Chains A and B, each alone.
Chain A
């Protein structure tokens, strides 16, 4: 691999890692969601020396074209990420439903109470 490319990937990985870490320290990124991105940044850092690992590994697995192994790994990561986010979305959807129902019921109760208070104060002549 070209040394400039190697350094660029290493730099990108390190930068991503630092950015995520800073966001975490300022509590602007939820920990459970950040783990995935930290893993991405770490794999980028290792990606700068990937050819040294991938090529022998691909050969050992009987893959003639080593980049195919890289695509396979990426494919698995993307599928896993999507799966994880589907779980998160399902959970959010349930919580959202609960909240909207509670808000609607409370709004009704508030309207009724306001009406009652208004009627009451009118009767008292206030």
Chain B
């Protein structure tokens, strides 16, 4: 079984090296691919020094585009599983096993790492409301309990990542509950596993007016997923 850990990174030179080293220590048998999404700092060099494979996208195309590049890489080089993690050290490599175990136990195609299944992860009220609302929508639509749809800590089997590697099957910016619903629509088995996340301050994409537009976009994306199903 070959595993590829995909880490999309945009200006993460201070953390990326430690993230790679801690993964290599915990999971020495897995390959690590850093998708450098047009960083202007030394992210690429730091990742290479730490021993990861590095792909440099010529300019910033967004989180989703970077993840999809990782999926394409996994298809090209025949990996069996892809695990996605963040480059800021938010995801604890100890939890990788939890994802793999859940995938084997549930026979799932995609397992989403949830920070809420175990322990107490604190976050702002606005985010909590948004997260609660979207996970409720996902639960109703998929019938699977999804407590943390915004989690970027996930594992995909080959069937799932080859599907997402194609064209517009994966969103360019932030994949969220919409992609979970789209996967369910395409008859992929979803599951959720408890993972540990370390809270990072001040680096969230959710600041200023962005949450408002993000909510609107997500509502639109969800509507499109639902409508698509009815048309079929």
* Residues in chain A within 8 A of chain B (CB atoms): 93-94, 96-98, 100-101, 103-105, 107-109
- Partner of B61 from the list A101, A107, A108, A109 (CB cut-off 8 Å) is A101
A23 CA to B142 CA, complexed, in Å: 54
Tell me if B's interface is mostly helix, strand, loop or mixed.
mixed
- Partner of A101 from the list B53, B54, B72, B168 (CB cut-off 8 Å) is B72
> Taking CB as reference atom, which chain B residue is nearest A99?
B58
* Residues in chain B within 8 A of chain A (CB atoms): 35, 53-59, 61, 65, 68-69, 72-73, 76, 167-168, 172
A55 CA to B146 CA, complexed, in Å: 63
> Cβ of A93 and Cβ of B172 under 8 Å apart?
yes
> Cβ of A103 and Cβ of B72 under 8 Å apart?
no
- Determine how close the nearest CB of chain B comes to the CB of A115; give it in whole angstroms: 12
A93 CA to B59 CA, complexed, in Å: 13
Q: Which interface residue of B58, B59, B76 has the most chain A CB atoms within 10 A? A: B58
Assuming A100-B58, A104-B56, A105-B76, is B168 touching A94 (CB within 8 A)? yes
A103 CA to B65 CA, complexed, in Å: 13
> Taking CB as reference atom, which chain B residue is nearest A102?
B72
Assuming A105-B69, A105-B76, is B58 touching A97 (CB within 8 A)? no
> Taking CB as reference atom, which chain B residue is nearest A94?
B168
Assuming A93-B172, A94-B168, A97-B172, is B55 touching A105 (CB within 8 A)? yes
> Cβ of A108 and Cβ of B168 under 8 Å apart?
no
The residues of B that contact A108 with a CB separation of less than 8 Å are 53-55, 73
For the complex with contacts A93-B172, A107-B55, 12 further pairs of A-B residues with Cβ separation under 8 Å are A94-B168, A96-B61, A100-B61, A101-B57, A101-B61, A101-B68, A103-B57, A104-B35, A104-B55, A104-B58, A105-B72, A105-B73
